[in-house]
Structure formats: structure tokens, C-alpha cells
Amino acid sequence: MLQLKELGGVETKDRGRIDEIAADFLTDYRLNQRKSLKKAEQVTEHLKSDFRGYRITQITTPKIQVYIEHRLSKAVEGRRLGSG
């Protein structure tokens, strides 16, 4: 039997994959008519592109840190290209 955990108000299976969790998360946003739905959709697309196929339990702190560094470097690069 899979245990359930709560993630952002959405109950998820311990062994769920990021794609499934993101879909549940966005469904919750839609059902509750959250104003930040567009931003949530953007963020989940970025997460899914980097963590597609991963089980939630496989997404560790070091992997999240690499993801953050990658996103920050892309943002800085985008700003540099935009100002030149």
C-alpha cells in the first residue's frame, strides 16, 4: 500500500512521478481558481523538463540545487543577451 503525502494541498502517492504530481498540483489550482495559475503552469513546465520521468523520491536536495543553478544561469544569460 502506498502512503500518501501532502504537497501544496494536493495528496500524492509516495512513488509518483513528477509529471503526475505536477498534473495533480495544476488540477488543484484550477479547481480552486487560484489567480497564480499561469505562473504555476510556467514553473511546472520548467520542473517537468528537467525532472521528467523522475519519481518524487529521486529528486534530492543536490539535484534541486543543480536545477536552481541551471535556471539562474539561464536567467542571467537571457538578461545579458537582452541588454546587448
What sign for the dihedral angle of Cα 54, 55, 59, 60?
negative
Higher local confidence (pLDDT), 53 or 79: 53
What's the mean pLDDT when you consider all of the chain? 83
Alpha helices (H) along 2-36: 18-31
- Please tell me whether residue 69 adopts helix, strand or coil conformation: helix
Cα–Cα dist 26/20, whole Å: 10
Helix 37-51 to helix 61-83 angle, to the nearest 10 degrees? Answer: 110
**Tens digit of pLDDT for each residue in 18-35?**
999 999 999 999 999 999
Query: Once rounded to an integer, what is the mean pLDDT over residues 62-66?
Result: 95
Cα–Cα dist 16/41, whole Å: 19
Instruction: Identify the residue whose cell numbers are 509518483.
Output: 16
